[in-house]
Structure formats: C-alpha cells, structure tokens
Structure 1
Amino acid sequence: MKNIVVVNNPANWSLELPGVEVVSARSYLSDGLYSKMRRARVFNLCRSYKYQSNGYYVSLLAEARGHRPLPGIMAIEDIKSQTMVRFVSEELDKEIQKALKHIVSDDFTLSIYFGKNLAGRYDKLSRQLFMQFQAPLLRAQFVRLNDHWNLHAISPISANEIPQDHKPFVIEVARKYFEGRRLPGVKKDDTRFDLAILRSEKESFPPSDEKAIQKFIRAAENLDFYVEVIGKEDYGRLAEFDALFIRETTSVSHHTYRFARRAAAEGLVVMDDPESILKCTNKVYLAELLNRNGIAAPKTLIVSEDNSGRIEPEIGLPCILKQPDSSFSQGVVKAENRQQLKEMLVKLFNTSDLLIAQEFLPTDYDWRVGILNGEPLFVCKYYMARKHWQIYERSKDGKTYSGKAESLPVNEAPEAVLKTALHAANLIGNGLYGVDLKQVGGKVYVIEINDNPSIDSGFEDVILKDALYNKIMKEFLRRIEVKKSPNRN
C-alpha cells in the first residue's frame, strides 16, 4: 500500500522519508493519477482542516476513493468540536493530571508528532491523544483552573509550522511510524475486509471469554477478514475498519456507546448498533416498550421519588428493584420487607431519578434465547446460584458465584419461549440479542432484552460449536457486502 503525504506546498516540506511520496493538496485533489489509485494511505498535513478548505477536501476525497486518510473526516470534525475536546479531557483526566503535575505555569502546549513528544514523560498522554484525534501532527493546549488541568483545544500542525529544532525528531518518529512492523489499519493483501473486535482485558465479566474471542477470529479469517482486537484507546482508528464487533459490556455512559456511534457514523457495520445499546441498556425504556406492545412481563412499575409509595400495594413484597442500566445482576436488588424497600430506594435514587420495581417471580432457572437478525441462534437455561435468587451471587468478600448453564437445540425449546423472545427482540432491531425469560406454569414472561449477549466457550456454543461463531461472522460479511454493493439504494 502506497504512503502519500499531502501538504499545501511540497517546497516547504523538508523531511526526507524513504518510501513516502509527497504531493501538493491541489495535485492530490485534481490529478487523475490519484483518483485512479486503488490503495493508498494518505497522511494529510495541510495547514487547515476548515470546512471546504483544501485540507478538508483531501480527507473527504481520500475516503471517497477508498484510500485511508489520516485524519479522516470524522477525526477532523472531532478536532473542531469543543464538545469532543471536553469529553476527551474527562476521559483522559487521570493521565492529564499525572503528566502535567510538575508544570508551574497555568497553561501548557504539547506538540504531538505521530503520537510522540520530544519529552518522553509525555509519551503516554501523546499516544492517547493521537489515538483519540488521529491526525499525524497535533498541538494540544491545556489550561489549569483551581489546580486542575483541562484540555482546552486541539489543532493540527502543518508541515511548515514544525520548529527547526524539532525536525530531526519528527523525521525519526515519522520514519519509525512508516517503517513499523505494521501500521494501524494495514491488512494482509489477500483479505477482503477488516473487522475490529472491541474488548477489555480488565473487564471482570466480559461478554466473551478469550477462547470464544479466538473462535470468532478464526471464523472471520476463514471468510477472508483481517481481524484485530482493539481497546478503548483505539477510538480514533475506527475508520480503518469495515466492521466493529463489540465484545465488552455496553452502557450509554461508556466508551462502548461512543465507539458504536462513531463506527456507525463512519459507515461501518456495527454489532450491536448504538440504537440497540441505547434501548437495551435502559430498563425504563424496556418496561415501557414491553407494556405498550402487549408482551407479558412481571408486574412492573417505573418508580420516581413521587410514586414510590405505589410499590407495595401494586407490586407487592418481596419485589425486585433495578437501576435502569444494571447488568450481570449488578444494580439489581431484592427487597424482602418494607424496611429493606425504604433503605434500598434511598440508595438507588442517589444514582438515578427513575428506577424499576418488578414483581418477584421465583424460578429455578431463566431462559436465554440468543437471536441474530430475527432468527433464534441458541437457547440456554441459566440456573440460579446455589441458595440464591439470581444467576450470579456476589459475596461480601468480593467473590462471584453462578449457577450452572444448560444449552439445548433451538428446536427443543418450548414454542412459547421462542415466539415470545422473537417478538420482543424484533421490537429492538435486527442485531445480536439475548432475551431473558421466565416460564411460570404455562405462561412466559420477558425479563429483559440484552444487546451484546454473552457468548462463552463451553456455554452458549455447546450445541452449534464452531458453527455458532461462523453464523455470526457470515452475518457480518453479508451486511458489509450489502453496504458496499454498487446497486444499493
């Protein structure tokens, strides 16, 4: 893949880099040679990325030509967005305070060259900012207010703005970047598409264990995907991929939702999409959705401080209280009596203005139906932890215990369970969902609809084995091909 550096005026470019073609913005925009070029990485070092400037159009046309621009259009919009600057400042707050704690003045400017700074002490912060904003040369401005540092602004550095005494360093880091073992976004020549799998090694209860992740990777590679496991620091690289598979517990107030939104805006196939995350992770929304569509659920009340007195007469005791964004049994409590109910409400209202109160339906197990694109994928029974009312039990010493899981063929699951699960999931979308249900007597109740359901080796894949991973990857492939089809409306 060809490396092209685009600048306003090549005469001002004094950095000699092997294997790199330096061209003017006007040439890149108007010369037919570049519009016909099939594969290229375009490093946009123009003076400005202002809307409708040459710098803006270089990245815009690079994307239209199927080239890989750095920065891409979304990254350019992020650089110009004060909202994004504030968000990144909050996200990187710990590292910002650590890196700048020795600075005496109340303002500081950090020059970032391909993720590096001349002073090694700023390398980690420089790398993180580079991954967030993804421009080759950046200037980050920080201000200190009330003894707390904040990122104030981020802007590109054009080629002719590099100080003379910085140029040897820039040449060195640029050379290493271009000649590295693998530049971000470089895939094998014989692969068709790029797939990113987002996960965190630090997560206590990830949706997929390491063995399952490896099975997803093998299934994708068998379909000619290049696959890379990425982390939260790779936000700025999303435009390098054709699809994003989120294998990290999602939440709206979390980087997973931001990744999903950015990927969708970049035109990637995303599983699960931001709308599904938004709907599934909020139990207030789900309660209203199920009620309005006549889907059976335990007696449920959306609770505020004003109507909390209705819980006992309408729902009864014991009852279940849930935070709107609870997951993996966290943020879900059981009130056995009036005193417990009062104490738990005080605690939960500290984190949310609305809660869910739900009828307690004791069962030995919950059904989980995995659904992909409106079709049942797997069926499991998740048994309650021993002598506990939930699947997971967290002890006071921090240990977690869970009940056993039993998988069975889809065609052996009760028809009412499958039908109800499909009805519920179809209200959300056509992504990958896990619908939790209880069966009491002859009636089936939907407990919740989960985006990004658990798929662990030895559990959900017991029946289909490798075919489970193949089906999901084939759906990614189908969606990408539809998106890239020239006949698509």
Structure 2
Amino acid sequence: ENPEKWSPQIEGAKIISPTDYFANPEYQESKTYKVINLCKSHQYQSLGYYVSLLAGARSHKVIPEIATLQDFRFPSLIKDDAEEWDDLIHNSLKEVQDNKVIIHILFGQVENPKYARLGNLLFNLYQVPVIQASFAKKEKWQLTNLKPVHVQELANGSKKALEEALQFYVAGKRVVRKKYERKKYDLAILMSPEDATPPSNPRAIQKFIAAGEKYGFNIEVITKNDFGKLVQFDALFIRETTNVNHYTYRFAKKAEAEGLVVIDDANSILKCTNKVYLHELLTSNKIAVPKSFILRKDAQQLPEDFKFPVVIKQPDGSFSKGVKKVANEQELKDTLKELFQKSELLIAQQFIPTSYDWRVGVINNQVLYVCRYFMAQNHWQIVDWKKNGQHREGKSETIAASDAPKALIDTALKATSLIGTSLYGVDIKEIDGKFYVIEVNDNPNIDSGVEDKVLKNKLYHKIMESFTEKLQKK
C-alpha cells in the first residue's frame, strides 16, 4: 500500500500500489507480468485479496494465488498435510530445547539454517511471501498453526531480511550468475540425483544447456525441492522419469498453470504413462499393435487364441519394469497375482521375438532421431533388471531418418499425432516388413553418444528451437 517505504533498488522489479495495479492500462492489457502481492492483508475482500484475484483474471503469475489463500481458511487440511512430513519436522526440530517454536519463512528463506529444508518445503507447498509456522512438542513435534503475515508483524530487523529475500527471489539465478548477460527466456531443467535411469546422461544435459544459451535461454537445473521457484521461469524441461502419481506430473501441471511452456506437458504424461490408455488409443485409430488383451482383476482368463509365451504389462511401468514374460499357465497365475496388487487392469500382449526394437524420437510432429535398441545379452528385453536393482542394457545403433523405412516413420508420426506436439519416443517392432507400435514414451532417452550420434549438437538445438517456437506463440 506504501511503495515509498520500500527500497527502490530491487533489480528487475517495479514497486507499485494496488491502486496503480487496478487502474493502469499497462497492467490490464499485458499478460506477461509476474506479481508479488505484499499488501498488508490478504483477507477476503481486502486490497490484497483483490490484487491476487485480478492477477488471476489477467493471466498474471501471482503469489499468493487466491487458491492458496483459501487453503489457509481450512487449517485442518494443512495439518493433515503436515502428517506426511513427520520425519522432516522431527529432524529439523530435534535439537530445540523448548516445547514450542515459531519460524518465519521469507520467500522460502529462514534465519536459522537448521530450519532451511522445512522452510523451503512450506514455501513450496504454500506460496505466500511471508509465512509464520508454529510447532509444538507433545509426544512428537507437530505443526499447530500456519498463517500468512505482513512485515509489520515481524520483529525489528526483519524488514531488511525480507527485502534481501525478495531481492534473491526476484533475481533468482542471476544473483549467482552475474557474469552472464541477461537472456530473453528462463528455462528450468528438472532432474533428480536419485533417478537410477535418467532419460539424459550428464553430458547430454550440458549439451542442452549450451544449446539453450545459443537460443536465448538462461538455464537452471532444478530438483523436486524447487517447486516454489517455477513462477520465475518461462519454460520447464522435465528430464527425469515421469509418472502421473509422481511430483513430475505436479510440476508439469503447476508450470502450465503459471503459463510456462512444458516438455513433457501434463497431458502427454497422463496419456503416455498408462499402457491401457495407449492400447485403446492406438487400436481405435487403426495403428498396428501386437495382439493384445486387457485383463481385469475379476476376469483373468486369456482368450483361447492367445499362445504362450505372453507378455504381461503393468499399465504404468517404465524402463522395462513392470513387464513380465510368462511361458505357461502357472507362470501366468503367479505373475497376475503379483501385478494385480498394483492395478485393477493389466495388458496381455502376444510375445514377438526380435533382435532389436526401433525407436523413433519425435518433437513437434517432426522426426528427431531413429535408433535400433538391441536386446540385452541372453535376455528378451532391451534392459535386463537384476534382483539387486542393477541393470544391463543391449547395444544401440542410430541411423539417419532418411535411411529409415518410410513405413516406420509414418507409423511413428501417426502415433504421436494422437497425443500432442511434445517430445516422444515411439517403440516399434518390425516383423516381415510390417511395423507394430509397442508404446509411446513421453520422456524418451536422449543420451550423449547414443541418440545424438547422427545429428550431434543439432539434436539439442532442435529441441531448444521447439521451446522457442512455443514461447513465441504465447
């Protein structure tokens, strides 16, 4: 409400009043603004409430959003969420001597570094500039209250800390990358250090970064702990194994809601990670697939014309996991008992033995690469997973798209056109010159030294070019 009381030296930001935001045509006509709502109150029908409400109507990225403010009206929901963080709360507060503690979280930052992970988590989940979290210890530490607060409610000296946190939040990575010139766009690459089979190896990630900088992107590699930073970016590139029941899907949904261009987008994750959906999509559009049948938990009998061996697939398996080959009735019975614990539906597919599978990489309805992935030694799949969690992969061979069979390319493009214009990898088997789609992956491998063998750095440029085209259309 009083811009003159704030430091004017926040690089990259204007400090304005609610009145200016409501009435100035500049803020009414453009959708490109990111709004940080620091009004004194966010209560229903207050000035702060209307700033967030109108920001949403104007398609501006805003914190806090109206939906977030509504969450604070139902404290029981927040406390229910907190039960999922018991270990983090305990580990953060285990050395506290008192039975109560209050933590102020300023744009995800806290004064005591021991509470840093806890503060970061709360800001990621409840994106409000200043949050007050109260904890009490009975048998164990529990979150007792969580509320948004204004700077006037903070102790003396916190105003400077808030301005520093605000500066860091607005500047983002530019705080630590001052030697780089300001680029046109900000791109986040989501990765996980724990991902045992990431879709891109470290060398490929470096090549994505180099290509992105040539196309006018500032690029930052982020992890699952950076959910609250999504509002700072223009685009998100997910380079870890995706699933609907996983934070990668939540990242995609949140980024899209904030207006970011996302690869892989939430719709593609939803469609591609479920083999039951893919089976119906492909067959209903007359795309050849291996002979398949959907098994229900209450109807586990295979059709009489199915001959062993048969492949049984868990709907959301990835990297050859959740896929079993059965050679007889007893193996089928044991496998169904195991996999039906995780899903009400399974896919049964006639086994088609081949020495390799084709994969066609596609982005924006254009072929990106064509590979042959050979089966792992003495195994029927490309990846041979061991009981100890280790795995062994077969050889690979990348060829120019122009040298690939036309029917292969046509099949791949037809399959991906049913899903979207994102980045896909289509797995295809070839039998007697006919091509059968095994699955469409929303998060295909792009490893340096494999998929980029033909196009080399141009492959990474094509992906960044796709991001640029999508951003220019927004």
Provide the TM-score with structure 1 as the length reference. 0.84
Deviation at 1:73, TM superposition (A): 6.1
Q: 1:455 to 1:17 in 2, by over 3 A?
A: same
User: Which structure 1 residue ranges, 5 or more long, are not aligned?
Assistant: 1-7, 484-489
Residue 258 (structure 1) aligned with residue 214 (structure 2)? no
Larger mean Cα displacement after TM superposition, 97-106 or 190-199: 97-106
Aligned to 1:49: 42
Deviation at 1:265, TM superposition (A): 1.2
Shift of 1:247: 0.7
Displacement of 1:422 in angstroms is 1.1
The equivalent of 2:353 in structure 1 is: 362
1:138 aligns with 2:127: no
Q: Note the C-alpha offset of 1:96.
A: 2.8
Length, aligned pairs only: 467
Quick one: which amino acid aligns to residue 49 of structure 2? Y
Which region of structure 1 is more displaced relative to structure 2, 286-295 or 132-141? 132-141
> Which whole-Å deviations, capped at 9, do the CAs of 1:205-247 have from their partners, x for residues lacking one?
1111111111111111111111111111111221211111111
The whole-number CA distance in structure 1 between the counterparts of 2:25 and 2:407 is 61
Q: Give 1:167's match in structure 2, choosing from 138, 156, 162.
A: 156
Work out the CA distance in 1 between the residues paired with 2:79 and 2:434: 49
What residue is the counterpart of 1:129 in the other structure? Answer: 122
Whether the 8 Å contact between 2:107 and 2:166 is mirrored in structure 1 is no
Match of 1:457 in 2: 448
Does 2:327 correspond to 1:336?
yes
**1:315–1:357 contact (8 Å) kept in structure 2:** no
Q: Against the structure 1 CA distance between its residues 443 and 322, is the aligned structure 2 distance closer, same or farther, given a 3 Å change threshold?
A: same
Runs (5+) with no aligned partner, structure 2:
none
Q: Work out the CA distance in 2 between the residues paired with 1:305 and 1:65.
A: 48
Counterpart among 161, 165, 179 of residue 177 in structure 1:
165
Alignment of 1:58-457 (within 5 A): 58-59=51-52, 70-71=63-64, 85=78, 89=82, 92-100=85-93, 110-140=103-133, 154-162=146-154, 166-168=155-157, 170-171=158-159, 173-178=161-166, 183-184=171-172, 186=174, 190-310=182-302, 313-457=304-448
* Contact kept in structure 2, 1:116 and 1:173, CA below 8 Å: no
| Cα 1:178/1:238, change in 2 over 3 Å | closer
Report if the CA contact (8 A) 2:314-2:322 is conserved.
yes
Deviations 1:427-466 (A, max 9, x none): 1111111000000112211000010211010000000001
Assess, with a 3 A threshold, how the Cα gap between structure 1 residues 329 and 99 changes in structure 2: closer, same or farther. Answer: same
For 1:46 and 1:108, how far apart are their aligned partners in 2?
26
Counterpart residue identity of residue 177, structure 1 = A
Secondary structure at 1:326 match in 2: coil
Q: CA separation of 1:449/1:40 partners in 2, compared to 1, >3 Å: closer, same or farther?
A: closer
1:287 aligned partner, one-letter code:
H
Whole-angstrom CA distance in 1 between matches of 2:277 and 2:76: 26
Structure-1 separation of matches of 2:76 and 2:407: 47
Pairwise CA distance, 1:334: 1.2
Structure 1 Cα separation of the partners of residues 184 and 299 of structure 2: 56
CA contact (8 A) 2:18 2:47 kept: yes
Distance 1:82 1:337, change over 3 A: farther
CA distance in 2, matches of 1:149, 1:453: 43
Q: Identity over aligned residues, as a percent? A: 45
1:467 aligns with 2:458: yes
**Which amino acid counterpart does residue 9 of structure 2 have in structure 1?**
G
Instruction: Give yes or no for contact 2:170–2:232 (8 Å, CA) kept in 1.
Output: no
CA RMSD of the aligned region, Å?
3.5
Mapped partners of 1:303, 1:103: distance in 2 = 54
- AA of the residue aligned to 2:47: N
Name the aligned partner's letter for residue 255 of structure 1.
Y
Distance 1:481 1:31, change over 3 A: closer
Q: Deviations over 1:15-41 (max 9, x none)?
A: x86835876534554468988999997
Moved more, 177-186 or 317-326: 177-186
